[in-house]
Amino acid sequence: MSKTALVTLGLVSVLSSSVFAEENKVPEPTANGIAFPVNYQDWDIVSVSHREDHKSVRAIIGNKIAVEAVEKGQTNPWPDGAALGKLVWKARHDEHWKPAVVPGEFIHAEFMFKDAEKWKDTAGWGWARWLGTEQKPFGKDAASAHSSCIACHTPVKNQDWVFTKPAILPKRIR
């Protein structure tokens, strides 16, 4: 192999590993101290929604503790350790089935982490949102990272601050 080829190969190798590192970089925590839930795309489906006012569609997902709580019907209150995520996309009409509203651009992923004691000043939940596919933390300081979440969720404070009623699903087979 020529010297040029070796140098080129070396450069490609350095570039590849830096791209790889970038792709695998964990997004920053939010200003209210919530770590990014790295594996959330492995969580299970809890519900879906289409907000006609906001022109967005959503998948609502839950971690293992949340899904077990759903199965036991123990969601008011949700148990400590439960985490719920909402993946939000701009709504668009499917090109092959016009009356179907489907996901367009990814807007954000937002989360509620239940810990009644740790988050006692914010309704028992840690609130967090990461914007866009680059997953930029929402909120410039601790207060702004959760205040708009709580304001919007106030109508459902009697159902432990969660809008989502878990979707009816067949019983899992274990």
Applying CB under 8 A, which residues contact a second copy?
A: 23-26, 38-39, 41-42, 44-45, 47-54, 57-59, 61, 87, 89, 94, 96-97, 99-106, 109, 130, 132-135, 155-156, 159, 163-165, 167-174
In the complex, minimum distance from the CB of residue 114 to a second copy, in angstroms, rounded to a whole number: 19
CB-nearer residue toward a second copy: 120 or 172: 172
3-state secondary structure of 45: strand
CB-nearer residue toward a second copy: 40 or 147: 40
CB-nearer residue toward a second copy: 2 or 154: 154
Of the candidates 153, 88, 102, the residue with the CA atom closest to the CA atom of residue 126: 153
In the complex, minimum distance from the CB of residue 26 to a second copy, in angstroms, rounded to a whole number: 6
In the complex, minimum distance from the CB of residue 46 to a second copy, in angstroms, rounded to a whole number: 9
CB-nearer residue toward a second copy: 12 or 165: 165
Of the candidates 115, 121, 102, the residue with the CA atom closest to the CA atom of residue 35: 115
What are residue 46's phi and psi, to 5 degrees? -115, -35
**CA 171 to each of CA 70, 71, 77, 79, 168: distance values in angstroms, whole numbers, following the listed order:** 11, 8, 22, 20, 9
Beta strand 83-93 with 125-131 is unpaired
Q: How many CB atoms lie within 10 A of CB 65?
A: 15
In the complex, minimum distance from the CB of residue 44 to a second copy, in angstroms, rounded to a whole number: 6
CB-nearer residue toward a second copy: 50 or 74: 50
3-state secondary structure of 85: strand
Q: Is the peptide bond before 166 cis (omega within 30 degrees of 0)?
A: no
In the complex, minimum distance from the CB of residue 120 to a second copy, in angstroms, rounded to a whole number: 24
